[in-house]
Chain A
Amino acid sequence: MTQDQLSAKARWVWSETLRMHRLAPETRVASSLSCVEIFTALYYGGLLEHKGEDPRWEGRDRLIVSKGHGSISLFPILADRGYFDKSELEKVCQAGSFLGGIPDTIIPGYETINGSLGHGIGVACGMAIGLKLKSSSNHIFVVAGDGEFCEGSMWEGVMFAAHHRLDNLTVIIDNNKLCMLDRCEKIMTVEPFERRFEAFGWQAERVDGHDMSLLHQALTQLKGRGRTGRPSVLIADTVKGNGVPELEQDSLCHIRTLTHAEIDRATGGDK
C-alpha cells in the first residue's frame, strides 16, 4: 500500500471504530482511537505476517494487544483481513457475539486473554524464546499502553527480554499520556521511556503515532534490524480519543461514552 492508501485505511478504521462505539456504548472508545494508526500500519503496511483465513498459521508474526480493552479499533481490521465475517461487526457486545467490550482469544486473531494490564510483555517473552527455539524467523509485536507501565510485571518482562537478547520482539507503546483518572505524569511518572528502556538494554525510538508515514517507517526499520541481540521499543506519541474533540479535551475520557450526536459530528462526511 502507498502511504496515501495507508492513511485512507486508517481513516476508515477510525470511522468504523466510532461506528462500533455507537452500536456498543460500553466499549472503550478513547483508548481505541489512539492506536488506530499503529494497528493499520501493522496489518496493512506489510509489517505483520498473517493469514486471516488461518489465524493460527505457524508462519504468522505474533501480535499481543497488552492494552486489550483499548483495541476495538482492531475489530474492523480483523474483519477486513478475513479473520471473520464483516457482518459480525454489527453485533459487537450483543448476546451471542464473540466481539466483546474487552477482546479475548475467542476472537480469531487475538493471541492472549486481555483486559488485565501488565501481562503482555512477559507472555511475549515466552513466545519469543519459543520461536527462537523453533528456529522461526517470525517477529513478535506487543501493543502496550503507557499507563500500563505502572504495573511491575511489565518491567520484569522488560528486564527478561534484554537479558535473553530477544531481538525478535518489538514493543509499541501507545503513549496517549492518560490513565483512567488523570494524566499519567500526575499519577505516576512513566517517562522518559527511551532512557528507561535503553538502561535495560533495549533499542528505543520515538515517533508521532498518528503520522502514518513516520510510524510505518519506524516499525519497518525496527522489525528489519536483523539479529542485533536487543529487543526494541517504539514510543508512539498519541492522543487519547484522537480526532474527537469531546474526548481529546477530557482527562476522564477513558470511561467516556459518546452521544450519537457527538459521533455524527466527529465522523462528518465519513461513510
Chain B
Amino acid sequence: MTTPKNMTMRDAFIGKLCERMATDDKIFFLAADLGAPALDRIRSEFPDRFINVGIAEQNLINVSAGLALEGFAVYTYAIAPFITMRAYEQVRVNLAVSSQIRPVNVTMLGLGGGVSYQVSGPTHHCLEDLAIMRLLPNMSVYCPADWVTAEALVDHTRAAIGPKYIRFDGKALPSLYANSESVDLQKGFTSLAAGTDICLVSTGFMTHRALNAARERKDVAVIDLFSLKPCDEVALAETLAPYRHVITMEEAFINNGGLDSLLTKVVREHELPCSQHPIGFNDKYVFELGSRDQLHAINDMDEPAVIRLIDKLRKG
C-alpha cells in the first residue's frame, strides 16, 4: 500500500471545481479576500465568474444569493468563523429561508474549522459552526476528514440544489479514502474500523485521532461521519446497534447541537442500548497558545485522553 498523500481539503476541492468550471458555465466562485493556490487558476481562467468581494462576508452571502436566484451554482469562500457567524443572518434569510420557496444553490466553504488556526485565538477558532449550521432548516452540513472526501463533494454540491456548508480543515492531512467513489455521500458516514463493544464516531480532523486511538486498543470501531446533515440515521442506528458505548469526537463545542447532539437523537429515536460520551471542547473559548496537539491535550481530546476513556469504560 502506498503512503497516503497529504493535501489540504481546499486545494483538492477548488482544483476539482476549477476543472468543472471549464465545462460548466453556471458555476460562480466568490471569495471574501481569502486565497488559495488553486484559486489563482480560477481567477485567471474564469475572470467573469470569480469575484473577490473584499472583507465583507455579509455581502458575500447576499451577492451569492442573488446569483443563485438567477440560476447560478455559487461557491462562497471565507474563513470559517466569519462566513458562518458574521453572516449568519444573511445565511438564514437569503439561503436557508429563501431556499424553501425558490431554488438556491449556494455552497459555503469555511476554511479553518476547529482550532486548525491554533495560535490565532478565539476569533479564528471555529467551534460553533457545526451546531449553528445544523440548526438551519434546508441547510446541508459537511465536515470532511480528508481531501478525498472534500473532492468528492464538488460534484455532489453542484448537483444537489440547496444551501450547504462545508468545513475545511486548515491543514494538509493524509487521505483516508482510496478515491471519491469510496465516499458514500448519500449515507453520510463510513465504518473505517470494526469493533466489539465501543464505537468512536468522529467528524473532520478528529477522525484521524479516532483511528490513532483505535490502533492502540483492540476491537474499537471507528465511524467517520462527514455529513452531519443530511445523514442516513436509520443506517447509522443499524451500524451502532451492537455497541455498548459510543464516543463522539468533534473539534467543536460539545453538548450544544453538534455531532454529539445528532448521535443523541439517533440513540433516542432508535432506542439503542448504549451509553454516550462526547469528546470536544467544553463551554469555554480557547486562549491558550500551543500546538493543536497541546490544545487538544488540555481539553482531553488527544489520543491519550481517548484511550483513557476507552479503558475506563471497559473496566466498567
Where the two chains meet, the residues of A that have a C-beta atom closer than 8 Å to any C-beta of B are 104-106, 111-113, 116, 119, 121-131, 133-134, 152-153, 156-157, 159-160, 164
Contact = CB atoms under 8 A, between A and B. Distances in A.
Contacts of A129: 51, 63, 66-67
A121 B62 CA distance: 8
A126 B70 contact: yes
Contact of B62 (A119, A131, A164): A119
A265 to B, nearest CB: 38
A174 B72 CA distance: 31
12 contacts: A105-B101, A106-B101, A116-B93, A122-B62, A123-B63, A125-B63, A126-B68, A126-B74, A129-B66, A133-B49, A153-B90, A160-B54
A130 B71 contact: yes
Contacts of B51: 129, 164
Contacts of A121: 62
B56 interface: yes
Nearest to A116: B93
B60 to A, nearest CB: 9
B24 interface: no
Nearest to A120: B62
A113 B63 contact: no
The interface residues of chain B, by DSSP majority, are classed as helix
B27 to A, nearest CB: 11
Interface of B: 48-49, 51, 53-54, 56, 58-59, 61-72, 74, 89-90, 93-94, 97-98, 101-102
Contact of A153 (B58, B69, B97, B101): B58
A157 B62 contact: yes
Contacts of B58: 122, 152-153, 156
Contacts of B59: 122, 125, 153, 156-157, 160
Nearest to B97: A113
A114 B47 CA distance: 32
A205 B23 CA distance: 43
A127 B66 contact: yes
A119 B89 CA distance: 10
Nearest to A124: B66
A130 B67 contact: yes
Contacts of A122: 58-59, 61-63, 65-66, 90
B70 A125 contact: no
Nearest to B68: A126
Given A126-B70, A131-B70, A133-B49, A112 B98 contact: yes
What 6 A-B pairs have minimum CB-CB distances, sorted nearest first? A126-B66, A122-B62, A130-B70, A156-B59, A126-B63, A127-B66
A126 B98 contact: no
B49 A123 contact: no
Contacts of A116: 89, 93
Given A119-B93, A152-B58, A157-B62, A127 B98 contact: no
Nearest to A111: B69
Contact of A119 (B64, B70, B94, B101): B94
Report which residue of B49, B69, B98, B101 has the largest number of chain A beta carbons within 10 angstroms of its beta carbon.
B69
B71 to A, nearest CB: 7
A153 B94 CA distance: 13
A123 B70 contact: no
